[in-house]
Structure 1
Amino acid sequence: MLSALARTLPHFRNTNSGQFFLMAGPCVIEGEDMALRIAERIKHITDKLQIPYIFKGSYRKANRSRRDSFTGIGDEAALRILEKVGREIGVPTVTDIHESPEAAEAAQAVDVLQIPAFLCRQTDLLLAAAQTGKVVNIKKGQFLSGEAMQWAVDKVKSAGNEHVILTERGNSFGYSELVVDFRNLPIMRQFGVPVVMDVTHSLQQPNQASGITGGQPALIETIAKAAIAVGADGLFIETHPTPATALSDGANMLPLDQLEGLLQRLTRVREAVRPAGDVALHGLDA
């Protein structure tokens, strides 16, 4: 597999259109055929719209409320599928890691290592991800301000890795709601790294009595439009052909057949607000 710089950065650079980029895919890898079909479909859409695309899929879900919740098909099998998606569909891939020893193993299969929001302050985890040389996408904790994410960026860069992305995913509001403070996007952008809006996770309704997270998918377009309007470099959207049958986080995912129309509308918003000469991804140019 080619290095993160060789494979990933060309997809980030889109100086001709100044377009946002997209991280999208299922919440968790459910099987090879589904992953390939989803990736191929999104690649077709994003190629048509000239949107740089990174396939997203968790190889294991560690942060589940209930003991009997689906966590994955097995680490080795899921990582093999992610590697195959990258190779056969020809797109960069991203997956999340939860413990330091996972970094090196996952880095053999994907181009971007993602740090979950609730782990964004874990120094050892950040350093382990940084030391792989892969791009590191850090989700902002639901309990943190945008300003506080400077220290997470500094940890990754202290290991000699300059390739960092920050992702906003809302802040806890009470016990079972999240709200998005859109000030965090320009605040985090000041750190010289690309900033992404995690559209679907920001619409979760965690800590439900059933032990299964709820969501508000009807507001996906609202959050995405607002993020593009205030200058997000990228969007993170979990999508599935049939969210009702998804094995994880179906309550807040976008139906795959709605993605193209949404992206078409978002490209018009981006064009309307993009300053002349702007470049989509600041901070990752070699």
Structure 2
Amino acid sequence: MIKSFLPEIKHTDSGNFFLIAGPCVVESRENVFEVAEKVIAITEKLKIPYIFKSSFKKANRTKGGSFMGIGDEKALEILAEVKAKFGVPVVTDIHESQDAAFAARYVDILQIPAFLCRQTDLLVAAANTGKVVNVKKGQFLSGEAMKFAVDKIVDAGNKKVMLTDRGNSFGYTDLVVDYRNIPAMKETGVPVIMDCTHSLQQPNQASGVSGGKPELIETIAKAAIAVGADGLFIETHPNPSIAKSDGANMLKLDYLEDLMVKLVRLRQAL
């Protein structure tokens, strides 16, 4: 199904899961291209269908002074460069209805953040661009409830929908993954993805900076494949300790290849 959405995506006949990966936010052209080149080399070697991800801006931050981006158009132009140079599809987040048509000029997939997955105007605006729409499941919703997000997009005339799980709120400062949500969302008939990094966030910390448990990324990914996830979402950075957003739960870029080798083997075994 992902091939029908994104005809340019490679290796869909390999039997592997597809991967959405990249730095959380566009920090610089150098950072984006370093990550893209490394991940593409890995996915080509292992024949994993690949979609590059980075947010052109981060609107949802705990503190008002947190980094939000380098400028909307500048960041989107960098993402368009990735697509043009490497020939891979690109996804970015949108946060307001007016972002949809603007971002759609540069990328292939518009991603709806989890906190905004019930925003009808935003979903419809994304649908109206004709681009693929990836909706992240709200931390406050069941997998079954995501059928209504799919319905909103399909009813607007766009059948190119994907859903991504990123955990459920557990108290005020932690998330847990309920793997029942993956088969529940697959009942909608759209590709289902597991966000292996954001689901390990520890939000609402007193410091105003979210924590995380990146040492469990492999565990989350293995379990997601075991229960039938079509794709995996992993944010990665050469040095998460200095990343400008979500560094506490991102995977260090140097660890990605070893993880992908293990996950491909698991997929083949299943």
* TM-score, normalising length: structure 1: 0.92
Mapping for residues 203-218 of structure 1, pairs under 5 Å: 203-218=200-215
Q: Match for 1:110 among 107, 112, 123?
A: 107
Query: 1:8 aligns to what?
Result: 6
1:7, 1:149 → 2: CA distance? 20
Contact 1:7 1:111 in 2 (8 A): no
Query: 2:184 aligns to what?
Result: 187
Residues 1:248 and 2:228 aligned together: no
Contact 1:240 1:246 in 2 (8 A): yes
- Give the residue type in structure 1 aligned to 2:143: G
Query: 1:200 aligns to what?
Result: 197
Query: 1:45 aligns to what?
Result: 42
Distance 1:105 1:206, change over 3 A: same
- Which digits, 9 at most, give the CA deviation of each residue in 1:139-193, with x for residues without a partner? 0000000000000000000111110000000000000000000000011011110
Runs (4+) of structure 1 moved beyond 3 Å?
4-7
- Give the residue type in structure 2 aligned to 1:139: K
Quote the offset at 1:58 in angstroms: 0.3
For structure 2, the residue ranges without an aligned partner over 5 or more in a row are none
1:90, 1:44 → 2: CA distance? 13
SS in 1 for 2:88: coil
- Which digits, 9 at most, give the CA deviation of each residue in 1:33-55, with x for residues without a partner? 11111111101100110000000
Q: Match for 1:264 among 233, 252, 261?
A: 261
Query: 1:279 aligns to what?
Result: none
Query: 2:91 aligns to what?
Result: 94
Distance 1:222 1:180, change over 3 A: same
- Give the residue type in structure 1 aligned to 2:24: C
2:6, 2:58 → 1: CA distance? 24
Query: 2:173 aligns to what?
Result: 176
Quote the offset at 1:89 in angstroms: 1.4
SS in 1 for 2:193: strand
SS in 2 for 1:101: helix
Contact 1:36 1:89 in 2 (8 A): no
Contact 2:3 2:12 in 1 (8 A): no
Query: 1:126 aligns to what?
Result: 123
- Give the residue type in structure 2 aligned to 1:52: P
**Alignment length (residue pairs):** 269
1:196, 1:268 → 2: CA distance? 18
Contact 2:5 2:132 in 1 (8 A): no
* TM-score, normalising length: structure 2: 0.97
Query: 1:85 aligns to what?
Result: 82
Quote the offset at 1:9 in angstroms: 3.3
For structure 1, the residue ranges without an aligned partner over 5 or more in a row are 274-286
2:88, 2:199 → 1: CA distance? 25
Mapping for residues 153-164 of structure 1, pairs under 5 Å: 153-164=150-161
More contact order relative to length (CA 8 Å, sep ≥ 6)? 1
- Give the residue type in structure 2 aligned to 1:14: T
Q: Match for 1:167 among 143, 164, 185?
A: 164
